[in-house]
Structure 1
Amino acid sequence: MVDVGTVYLVATGALLLVALGVGARALVAIFREGRERSRRRREGEIERYTEDPVYDRDPADPETDGAGPSTCPQCGAENAAEFVYCRECASPLGPNG
């Protein structure tokens, strides 16, 4: 007769192997996509930093309390008024920076 504990261990082991296989395939796909994007950046097919439409808002947008974007003193990138650090180079945006 088969012990219930043995069946449980075999079923759990099989499920873990399936999960490991699926996880490994996902990680390989992520790795390949990253390598492809790096290659495309090196060859100039895509820009290093692409603009994000979430942060390219209208200065009169009520979401930003009517304040316009602030310009980074380090790299010149425009940032939303509520940002404390630059979204491109991470340098401080305030008067102390």
Structure 2
Amino acid sequence: MIDLGPVYLAVVGTLLLVALGLGFRVLRGIVREGRDRRTRRQAGEMEKYTEDEEYGGRPSAGSEGDRAAVEERDDSNGPAATCPNCGAANESGFDYCRRCTTPLRPGP
């Protein structure tokens, strides 16, 4: 009769090595892309903030659509808080701006 313990360990070990190899390739690609971006930023070929193609870039600060959406959701919570940094409208219960993470209230 075959003992399944060593077979199980061999299969699991092989799968772990394959996953580690694939993970290493992905991480190496991320590091290379980061180095390339940093080099391009330092050379002035790229701005510090680049628009994300997937989401269509950064929305304009405090746009009318943002204010209307917050006013619709914020009827029961009191007035909306406006960010002092970017002008985005935030619900009154927020401590930080939903767009730029600036504190909305002075610290203690």
Do the two structures share a fold, i.e. TM-score over 0.5? yes
Partner of 1:63: 69
Identity of aligned residues (%): 44
Structure 2 residue ranges without an equivalent (≥5) = 73-79
CA contact (8 A) 1:41 1:48 kept: yes
Structure 1 residue ranges without an equivalent (≥5) = 73-77
Partner of 2:89: 81
Deviation at 1:80, TM superposition (A): 1.6
Residues 45, 64 of structure 1: alpha-carbon distance in 2 compared, 3 angstrom cutoff: farther
State how many pairs are aligned: 89
Partner of 1:20: 20
Residues 13, 34 of structure 1: alpha-carbon distance in 2 compared, 3 angstrom cutoff: same
What TM-score, normalized by structure 1, do the two folds share? Answer: 0.68
Residues 4, 51 of structure 1: alpha-carbon distance in 2 compared, 3 angstrom cutoff: closer
Query: Over aligned residue pairs, what C-alpha RMSD do you find?
Result: 3.1
- 1:11 aligns to 2:17 (yes or no): no
For 2:51 and 2:10, the matched residues in 1 are separated by: 50
What TM-score, normalized by structure 2, do the two folds share? Answer: 0.62
